[in-house]
Amino acid sequence: MKTADITTIFIALAVTLLQIAIGAFPVAMFAFPLNTLAMLLWVVAMLHIYRYRTTSAIAKFMLSREATWLSLLIMAATGVVLGLQRNPMSDAWAVVIGLLFVQSHLMFVVLRGWRVNNRIRWRFAILHIGLLLALGAGFWGAPDREQLRIAVESHPSREAYTIEGVERRLPYDIALKEFKTEMSENNTPTNYTARIVVEGESVVLRVNHPYNRTWSEKIYLINGGVAHNGSDYAIVEVVREPWQWLSAVGIVMLIVGDVLLFLCGPKGRR
């Protein structure tokens, strides 16, 4: 049995034991600045190992075709397993370690392949760096992401709740001015509109049209209607995601790379 196989089995066992012993990966514990520090340490470690790519067994494995197959199979298996779960355990240890491995391999591949014979391989670089950014922003930024729901009525309120039902106070008030439902001829809703007041400013919310409160925070309209007492209400969601712009850059790079993939097709001999 190869060293790589033994290491893979060992990691799989360790991950299973961790899951059994302490449950899901403690994502919230790694909120800023711990996640940023951990990411920087990881980048430095990868760069350091990469320097010894001709001598180190780890570096050689991370640059091997086997590591590519393993990365892609981890991603496919993650998709299948989470796709079968009603409440997908995306914070399971296996998912976290698996995605960390995928990113590590991607980083090695980018370092080696972005330039060949002093020539930049644009399509390769755009696709792989884009994927690394999109994956990395979602992975390292997850602990800083906050999603709070708040039921808004005519009186100003700031009591919001996390998805788990834990109460959080917003640093500002939100009040509802008006909630409107447009109906079609066959009595199905075609549009929801909520006019709310955020920090004294009047804002119109619609589905697919969130309000950008700050560079890292958006407010979404989730639902609404008429309460038992006859007054309008709206359910809005406040989403804080400081890493969202990094994800967006990665996604746009991937789209550009995919357009190039279609236009240029396969290159070189098989």
Question: Cα separation of 93 and 76, whole Å?
Answer: 16
Question: Cα separation of 239 and 218, whole Å?
Answer: 5
Question: Cα separation of 29 and 62, whole Å?
Answer: 28
Q: Is 247 in the site for other proteins (CB under 8 A)?
A: yes
Question: How many CB atoms neighbour CB 18 within 10 A?
Answer: 17
How many residues at the interface with other proteins, by CB under 8 A?
A: 54
Q: Is 82 in the site for other proteins (CB under 8 A)?
A: yes
DSSP 181: E
Query: Given candidates 8, 56, 90, 157, which one binds other proteins under the rule CB under 8 A?
Result: 90
Side chain identity, residue 71: S
Query: Given candidates 119, 169, 228, 270, which one binds other proteins under the rule CB under 8 A?
Result: 270
Q: Which stretch binds other proteins (CB under 8 A): 13-21, 37-45, 48-56, 180-188?
A: 180-188
The burial of 157, by beta-carbon neighbours within 10 Å (0-12 exposed, 13-18 middle, 19 or more buried), is given as middle
Among residues 8 and 247, whose Cβ is nearest to other proteins?
247
Question: Cα separation of 26 and 65, whole Å?
Answer: 32
CB-based contacts of 230: which residues, under 8 Å, 6+ apart? none
Query: Given candidates 6, 37, 226, 248, which one binds other proteins under the rule CB under 8 A?
Result: 248
Q: Is 64 in the site for other proteins (CB under 8 A)?
A: no
Binding-site string for other proteins from residue 21 to residue 60, where x marks contact by CB under 8 A and - marks none: ----------------------------------------
The three-class DSSP label of residue 240 is: strand
Minimum separation from the CB atom of position 85 to other proteins (A): 6
Q: Which stretch binds other proteins (CB under 8 A): 55-63, 84-92, 153-161, 171-179?
A: 84-92
Q: Which stretch binds other proteins (CB under 8 A): 17-25, 29-37, 62-70, 194-202?
A: 62-70
Minimum separation from the CB atom of position 244 to other proteins (A): 7
The three-class DSSP label of residue 158 is: strand
Minimum separation from the CB atom of position 267 to other proteins (A): 9
Question: Cα separation of 62 and 149, whole Å?
Answer: 42
Judge contact between 52 and 61, C-beta under 8 A.
no
Q: Is 191 in the site for other proteins (CB under 8 A)?
A: yes
Q: Considering only CA atoms, which of 110, 136, 131 is closest in space to residue 253?
A: 131
What residue ranges bind other proteins (CB under 8 A)? 65, 68-69, 72-73, 75-88, 90, 134, 138, 145, 147, 184, 186, 188-192, 206-210, 218, 220, 237, 239, 241, 244, 247-248, 251, 254-255, 258-259, 261-262, 265-266, 270
